Every structure is written in structure tokens, then in C-alpha cells.
Chains A and B, each alone.
Chain A
Amino acid sequence: MINLIVIAISAIMFALLVVWWRWPAFRDWIEAPKYSMLRQERRFDGRDR
């Protein structure tokens, strides 16, 4: 049980870090939503205010 948790979390973290480090395009792709969210917010604010 404990081994399962430790291995699973370590694997998730390691995989994400490797992808982050090896593929710069991944960084752009995974960071994109934080900008689209702001754009949407700006659009809605414009309509609602």
C-alpha cells in the first residue's frame, strides 16, 4: 500500500518533470490556459459591467 503510493506519486512527478525539461513546447502548451482564462475574463467583464 505504502509502496504503491510512493511509487505512483514519484512516477507522476518524475514524468512531469522530464516532459517539462525535455520539451519546451510542452511548457507553452501547458501554460496556455492561464492566458485564455484571462482573455475570457476580459471579454465577459466587457459585456457585464
Chain B
Amino acid sequence: MSKHPYLRAYLAGIAVPTMLMLVVIIVFVVVRFVFNVPIAIERLLVFPMAVVPNLWGVWNMFYVRLESRRLPLGIHGAALVLLLAPVGFTLARALEIGVVTPGLALTVAPVGLIAYYLLWKHIVGFLNQLLGVG
């Protein structure tokens, strides 16, 4: 299990948002097509489908790379919010997605930090141990 640690870290990182993507897509599809809320679903899903999983994978590779200088995994994962949130809001603004507004940022930030902390500490940590990285 000593070969390709970064590949294994990447796979452990992308696993969680990839599984959650199913929930995300179902919720947005139901909101758009069942409740007929006028949201541009094709633009809305670009960020959670393409950017988020890859950034999780790369962030976990970065965690493995840090070795002795690394923070606890939960804190490391929560720090990803500080990178993802501005990217997400910028993309939402560029793609004119009304659901994500800067006004919500302060309300979402604490819950985002908590969710990321818990997901990284418990689920990504479990996968990292299982795959022999971190």
C-alpha cells in the first residue's frame, strides 16, 4: 500500500462529494421540475459537479503532501471552505445564479465550516485510513 499515495488521497477526497452529488442533484431537480422554481439548473450544477469534487481530491493530496506540518484533518477540511466559498460565489455571479447571493454568505459560513469539519474529520479520515494515507 505504499505506492501512489497521492492517487489514493485524491480518490479518498473525491469520494465524499461524489456520493453527496446524488443528493444535491435530486434536490435541485425536484426544486426545478417538481416545484417549478425558476432556477438555471444547468448552470447551477457546474460548480458542485465539476469543481467541488476535484478540489476535495486535490485538497486531500495537499494534506498528504504536508506530512509533519499538517493540521488535524477536520481543521484542514474546514479551511477548504475559505477557498471554495469565494470561488463558488464568483462562479454563481458570473453564471447569474440567483440562489447563491453574497447576502447569504455570513449565514452560510458557520454551517459550511461545521459541515466540512465533520465530513473531513470522520468520513474523509476514515477513507484515508482505509486506503493507507494520512
Are A and B bound to each other?
A: no
B positions within 8 Å CB-CB of A: none
